Amino acid sequence: MPVPVWVLLGFAGWTLGVLLGTVGLYRWSRILTRRAEIRVFRADAVQDEDWYRRAMRAHANCVENLPVYAAIVVAALAAGVDTPLLDGLALALLGARVVQSVVHIAFEETSAAVSVRFAFFFVQLVCMAWMGVYVAMTAG
C-alpha cells in the first residue's frame, strides 16, 4: 500500500484518537459518574474547562482537513502517482497534524501557542497544496 494511503489511515486514526481520548473521555467520565447528564453536551455551545473546548476544536480541525487530504490521495491513486516526494509530503503532513493537535489541546491560547499551532497548520497546507499540484502536473 502506498505511503500516502497509510498516512490517510493514520490521519483517520488520529482524528478518532483525539475524539475518544479527549472529548469522549471527558464526556463519558462525567456521564458515568453522574456529574453531568448526557443532554448537557451540546456542539453549538461548548462550556466547561478550557482544555475541553480546545480539544473539541482540535478534533473539528482534524475532521475539516481529513477529506481534503483524502481527495488528494484518491487523485494520486487514480492517476497512478506514487513517488518518494509524495511519501515525504504525506509523512510531513501527518507529523504536523499530530503536533498541531497536541499544541492545541495541551497549551492555553497565548500568542506564542497559537503561533506555533498555526505554523504546523501552515505546514499541512503547504504539503496538501504541493501534493495536489504535483499529482495534477504528473498525471496530466
pLDDT digits (tens, 9 = 90+) for 75-119: 999 999 999 999 999 999 999 999 999 999 999 999 999 999 999
The confidence score (pLDDT) of residue 45 equals 67
Domain boundaries, position 33: 3-139
For the chain, the domain total comes to: 1
What is d(CA 36, CA 132) in angstroms, rounded to the nearest whole number? 45
Instruction: Write out the E strands in 1-89.
Output: none
Residue 54's domain is classified under what CATH number? 1.20.120
Q: Is the pLDDT of residue 120 over 90?
A: yes
Give the number of C-alpha atoms closer than 13 A to the C-alpha of residue 25, restricted to the C-beta side: 10
pLDDT category at 32 given cuts 50, 70, 90 is: confident
Helix axes 3-18, 50-79, angle to 10 degrees: 160
Non-local (6+) Cβ contacts of 82 within 8 A are 2, 76
Q: Check residue 80 and report its DSSP letter.
A: T
Q: Is the pLDDT of residue 53 over 80?
A: yes
What is d(CA 24, CA 74) in angstroms, rounded to the nearest whole number? 30
Poorest-confidence range of 13-17, 26-30, 65-69, 111-115? 26-30
Beta carbons of 42 and 114 less than 8 angstroms apart: no
The confidence score (pLDDT) of residue 140 equals 66
pTM of the model: 0.89
Q: Is the pLDDT of residue 29 over 90?
A: no
